[in-house]
Amino acid sequence: MTEILQSYWQAYLWHDDYQFSGLVITLWLLVGSLMVGFILSLPLAIARASRNKYLSFPVWCFTYLFRGTPLYIQLLIIYTGVYSLQFIQQQPLLNSFFRNGFYCAVLALGLNTTAFTTEMFAGAIRAISFGEIEAARAFGMNRRTLYRTVILPAAMRRALPFYSNEVILMLHATAIAFTATVPDILKVAGDVNAATYMSFEAYGVAALIYLATSCGLIVLFRLGERRWLAFMRPLNPI
């Protein structure tokens, strides 16, 4: 029994020659979904903060849909629902993509975090003071240069504390990927429980790994906030 437990505990933390560990898979899910969400949310946030309703309203519909429905249902629709469509099965590229649980999990997590990050960045864009924009225009900046050098950098710095919360929530949300047969931390914990019937130990170790990973991410974000948000710190704190 001890050897069995040891082999399963190892599957949480590192990988052998044949498969990656649950922690590595979880981190890949997190990084992949965050990359998708960050890349998509930047242009969507600009459109969402726009006064043009033809730009902002479709983005609002997208964010309302993904923020208003459970992530678990979104994953089920993408992993099982989309693949059941006839034209998806007839296209080789789409067929291979939606048959892969890992890809579907990254897509579902990425679209979900895109919705939340878009609203986060859009709110940060709206919060930028008019004086900063006027000062940039006084230097002769056009609209593209204004967004690239002033608005977006300032908005992302201000949104950093809120974005750190979204990253932690996405780390926890990766736990639903096991329903798509993705061998993440929770899937390994389920295998340990099924093989040993030691539920407390199996899921307890998984919880500790999630906790340690969350603490590591929090420390990194706090260091980033200390560096990039130093200008917002009061000079004479009470």
pLDDT single digits (tens) 30-67: 999 999 999 999 999 999 999 999 999 999 999 999 99
Q: What is the CA radius of gyration of the chain?
A: 21
Q: Is there a domain that residue 55 lies in?
A: yes
Domain extent for 146? 23-227
Give the domain CATH number at 191: 1.10.3720.10
Q: Is there a domain that residue 232 lies in?
A: no
Q: What is the pTM of this model?
A: 0.88
Amino acid at position 5, single letter:
L
The Cβ of residue 126 has, within 10 Å, a number of other Cβ atoms equal to: 11
Buried b (16+ CB within 10 A) or exposed e, 61-96: ebbeebeeeebeebbbebbeeebeeeebeeeeeeee
pLDDT over threshold 50, residue 17:
no
Amino acid at position 204, single letter:
G
**Structural domains counted in the chain:** 1
